[in-house]
Amino acid sequence: MYPTEMTPEERQAFKRAFDADFERMKKQRAVEIEAKYAAAATRKRRRRSISEISDSDEPTHDRRAAAARRRRTRHEREEREESEQSEPEEQTQAPRKPQLLRSSKGDAKPRRLSGAPVESGEIVEAVEPRTTLNAEIPQSLDESTDTLAGWRARKEPLRKRSEQRSSGDRAPTNDATERVQLRKKPSAYAFPSKRANDFWKGQPATKQTANPPSTSNIASAEVSKLPKIPKRQGSSSKETERAEIIEISERPPAWYKKLNGTNTRNTADSGASFVLAGIKKGMKDAKRDAEHPSVFEGVLETLARYLHLAPFEQVSEQLLRNQRMLHNTDGLPQIFDPAYNDSVRYPVWLQADATELYNKWCRRNFETDMFWGLIAPKPATKRSPAVVASVTSQLSSSFHGNGLLLNGQWWPLQLCLLRDGAHGQSQQGIHGKKGEGAYSCVIAGGLAPDGAPYPNIDEGDTVYYCGTDSKDGTVTEGTSRLVESQQNGKPVRLIRSHNLKNEYAPEKGFRYDGLYKVVSFEKLDPSKPLQQRHRFRLERVLGQPPMRGTGPGKRPTKQELEWLDKHKQNSGFA
C-alpha cells in the first residue's frame, strides 16, 4: 500500500490523502447511483401514467375534449397575461429599428414595430443575410395594402368570435360547436406527415375525400329541400344460398398435375414430412402384411395414428407433390379406392378418414386450425359492441344426400357445420327449403321455449325428433320442412351433438351419422293448440357404414381431442 522508503510521518500523510480520495470517490459514486435510480423512477412513473391513460374507461373522444379544454384555458390565460403586459408605452422610449418579416414566397416587406415612430419622409432600409431590399416606405402606408399586415396575428378567443358571428346574419354557435367545426376542416390540425394526417381522418393515404359540411351551418328551410338519403339494402336471410359448391371431378386435381417433383428440402416441413412418410410406410407395410392378421392389426393402428395426425401438420402443395400423396397408384387412394388397394382390406372407418383428408387437400385446404374461417364472439365493452360468432366463408349445405360428407365426420362447433356445408344453420336444429323439405337436422337435446327439454328419443338407428314449438299456433319453419320430407321421401342428414349425453352421442363436438328417412310424425300435447309440437320418427337408411361412437374407429379421435383444447385457447372459443 505504501511506497518504499517512507518515514512514519510521510506514511501518515499518505494514508490521510488516500482516505480523503476514497471518501470523495464514494460520495461521488453514491450521487451517481442516486441520480440513476431517480431517473429510473421517473421513467416508471411516466410509463404508469401512460398505461393508466390508455387503460382508462373514459372514451377516446372524451379525453380529446378534455385536452382541448385544457389547451383553450392555457391560451386564454396567455392572452390575458399578454394584454396586461402590452400597455401603451411612453413615447420617451428610444425608437427601435424596424425589422424585416419574411414569408415563404420571398415577398418580404419591412414593417415597423409598435413604439418605433418613423418620421415623415424617412427611408427605412432592412438588410437580409442573402438579399438587400431598398424601398421607400412613407408613413401614410395603409395596413390594408400590406400583404403581411395580418401575418403572425393571434386569433381571437372562440368566445369572442362566436359573439361576433351571433351579431350578424349567421346562426350563433357555442364553443363546442366551433371546435367541432374546426376539427372537420382539414387545415385545423397540422400533422407532421401526410401519412399521419390520413390516418387521423380514418381513410387510406391514396384516397382523398372531402369532409361533409356541418349541418349546423344549414338553415332549417334548406334542409327540407335536400334529397332523401336512399335506404340501405338489407341483406336477405337467404344470403347463405350463395355459398360455394365444391365438387372433386378430377383425381388427382389439375393443380396437382401441373407441379413437378423436386428434391429440395425445407426445414420448416420437417414435422409434416415425418408424418407423411409414416403414412406412406404404413400403406407399404399393409400390402406386405395383409396376409398376417396378427401383424396387420398393428400396422393398421400405426397407419391410423399417422393419418389422424396429418390434418394438424402444415403441408404445402409442393410437399404433397414431392411425397406423391395424391397420386392414385402410391398415394392416399390406395386406402379407399379398390382400383389401387391391391386387394388390401382396409377397415371402412379408415377408408373414410383417408377420403376426408384426400378431399381436403384436393380442395387446396391446408388449414391446421379446427376453427379456421370462424369469427370468435366477444362481449360488449364500453368501447366496442358485442361480436357474434360467425363464419367468413362456407360451402353450400342446401342439397340432399351425403355430398362430400363422410360417415363419422366430426366438428368441434356447429359453426363448423355451417362452414363445411354439413348444416345450413348456426343455431337452429333444422335446415331446409320450402318445396324441397329438410336437408339436415341436428339432434342436440335442446330446451323448448318453456324451458323444458324436448321429448326426443335416440335409439341409434331410430330417432324420435321434435320440431320447434310455435308460439302463435302456426307451424314453424323447421317443422314444416320435416313434414315435406315425410311427404317426398327424401332422406335427411342427421348430426348428433355431445349435449345428448347418451351412448350414441360423441364425447365432444358434433358428428355426422349418415342419412335418415322421415317415416312418420305425431302431434304432441293436443291440449296446447298454440304450441304445435310435432315429433317425427326418423329411421337410418340401410346399407350405410355403422355409426362411429365406439370401437377403434371412434370419432372424435384421440388426436382431435388433444388438439381441441389447444385450439380453443388460441381461437377465442374456449
| DSSP string covering 235-270 | PPGGGGGG-B-----SSS-HHHHT--------GGGH
Nearest C-alpha neighbor of 529 from the set 467, 473, 468, 470: 473
Q: Among 180-189, 371-380, 480-489, name the one with the lowest average pLDDT.
A: 180-189
* The pLDDT of residue 316 is above 80: yes
For residue 126, is pLDDT > 60?
Answer: no
Whether the per-residue pLDDT at 177 is higher than 50: the answer is no
| Residue among 435, 393, 423, 559 nearest 497 (CA) | 423
| C-alpha closest to that of 346 among 288, 309, 296 | 296
- DSSP assigned state of 199: H
Does residue 385 carry a pLDDT above 60?
yes
Confidence category of residue 186, pLDDT binned at 50, 70, 90: very low
At 61, the pLDDT band (50, 70, 90 cuts) reads: low
Burial, 189: exposed, middle or buried (Cβ in 10 Å; 0-12, 13-18, 19+)? Answer: exposed
Q: Which domains, ranges and CATH numbers included, belong to the chain?
A: 158-199 (no CATH), 254-362 (no CATH), 398-571 (2.30.280.10)
Kind of pairing between the strands at 437-443 and 430-433: antiparallel
Contact (CB, 8 A) for 374 and 391: yes
Q: With bands split at pLDDT 50, 70 and 90, how would you rate the model's confidence at 205?
A: very low
Lookup: cell for 168: 350578424
Instruction: Give the span between the Cα atoms of 455 and 494, in whole angstroms.
Output: 17
pLDDT at residue 533, rounded to an integer = 86
Q: What are phi and psi of 57, to 5 degrees?
A: -75, -10
Say what angle helices 348-362 and 293-309 make with each other, to 10 degrees.
Answer: 30
- Residue 304, pLDDT above cutoff 50: yes
pLDDT value of position 275: 95
Q: Give the pLDDT score at 245.
A: 55
Which of 315 and 159 is assigned the larger pLDDT?
Answer: 315
479: closest CA among 465, 467, 469? 467
CB atoms within 10 A of CB 572: 14
At residue 235, the pLDDT reads 37
Confidence of residue 241 (pLDDT cuts 50, 70, 90): very low
What mean pLDDT is predicted for residues 451-480?
89
Backbone angles phi, psi at 166, to 5 degrees: -70, -25
Model confidence at 24: pLDDT above 90: no
Most confident of 69-78, 183-192, 337-346: 337-346
Per-residue model confidence as pLDDT tens digits over 495-552: 999 999 899 999 999 999 999 999 999 988 777 777 788 899 999 999 999 999 999 9
